[in-house]
Structure 1
Amino acid sequence: MPAPRESYDSTRHPDLLAWLAERQTGFEHWAHEAGGVTPFDFSNASLDALEDLVREAYTKTDEITQQRRTPFIQGAVWYIGEVLCRRKGWVWKFEPDFNTGEVPPFYGEAEAPGLLDTPCVGAPEAGPGEHWYPLNTLRRLLAEDDELGNPIDERLVGMVEGWYDDEDDDEDDEDGEDQDQEGDEG
């Protein structure tokens, strides 16, 4: 369904709101089922524990994609996103397709290559394409090489602590460099 970007509020999509309520309500059950005695307290240690669980259960990125609607993956997606929301002041969103502006089915029945039909997180004022997709983070944990074929060995804590880190910009500001790039989209 086409939805003009100007009138669409990506933080208020009804399926997103229902999904968030379901995840929050079921969090303790998910945490117990997923990790048993592991405390999922939004700490780096809990991210390490989640990463271990993912690596024990899955070996290929396609497995995560195929099982993206299972309770474990759904809970892991929420948990990673919630860590980012709590640490960085981000919000949950369900974004329309960047190219077409259409809003896809939320966690559609079938995998559609190139279609982002899962929730994301980002700064409240983030523009199109400036979002973090926790499902992709889970997949990246199992990726052996990047888009250029270079080997990678990502850690969940490193991704959460390092990606979209504003501290580098703040350090440049302190060094006297002009960081006035508002309005530049690249």
Structure 2
Amino acid sequence: MPAPRDSYDSTRHPDLLAWLTERQTGFERWAHEAGGVTPFDFSNASLDALEDLVRKAYTMTEEVTQQRRTLFVQGAVWYIGEVLCRRKGWVWKFEPDFDTGEVPPFYGETEAPGLLDTPCVGAPGAGPGEHWYPLNSLRRLLTEDDELGNPVDERLVGMVEGWYDDEDEEDYEG
């Protein structure tokens, strides 16, 4: 459904609010089931542990996309986003399509190419297109090559700590 950008509050989408409540109330159970004794305390060590779990469970980005509605992936999405919210003062959002203004179904039944149907995080006053999709962070962990065929070796901690925040990415020697 199209929604004018000036009247749509991406932080108040009813499905987003319900999802956040479910993730928050189910966090301890998710953390126990996902990591056992690993403490998910929003630290870099816990991000490393989550990354290890993702890499053990999936080998291709498409698997994460196909499993985006499972409790494990949704818990991981929430966890990454919550780390960013806590560290950077960001907020949860469910954004309309950048080009059309269409608000897709939240975690729709089927993946709609070109539409992002998962929550994102961003600065409270950020404009359209200025947000981060934690699901894409999970997918990026499994990406082997970038658009130009160059090898990709991403780490979740590096993504969260802001490799992408640097204006001059060429200075990074990783």
- Category of TM-score, reference length = shorter chain: over 0.9
CA RMSD of aligned residues (A): 1.2
CA distance in 2, matches of 1:163, 1:12: 29
Q: Deviations over 1:96-122 (max 9, x none)?
A: 000000100000000111211100000
Residue identity in the other structure for 1:69: R
Residue 110 of structure 1 is matched in structure 2 by: 110
Structure showing greater radius of gyration is 1
TM-score by length of 1: 0.88
Residue 23 of structure 1 is matched in structure 2 by: 23
Residue 147 of structure 1 is matched in structure 2 by: 147
Residue 138 of structure 1 is matched in structure 2 by: 138
SS of 1:92's partner is: strand
Does the alignment pair 1:71 with 2:80?
A: no
SS of 1:121's partner is: strand
The Cα shift of 1:164 comes to 4.8
Residue identity in the other structure for 1:165: D
The Cα shift of 1:165 comes to 3.1
- Listed as ranges, the gaps of 5+ residues in structure 1 are 170-186
Does the alignment pair 1:126 with 2:126?
A: yes
Residue 35 of structure 1 is matched in structure 2 by: 35
TM-score by length of 2: 0.94
Q: Count matched residues.
A: 168
Q: Give me the identity figure in percent.
A: 90
Residue identity in the other structure for 2:162: G
Q: Deviations over 1:99-149 (max 9, x none)?
A: 000100000000111211100000001111110000000000000011221
CA distance in 1, matches of 2:56, 2:159: 19
Residue 184 of structure 1 is matched in structure 2 by: none
Residue identity in the other structure for 2:137: T
Residue identity in the other structure for 1:108: G
CA distance in 1, matches of 2:18, 2:117: 15
Return closer, same or farther for 1:163/1:128 CA change in 2, 3 Å cut-off.
farther
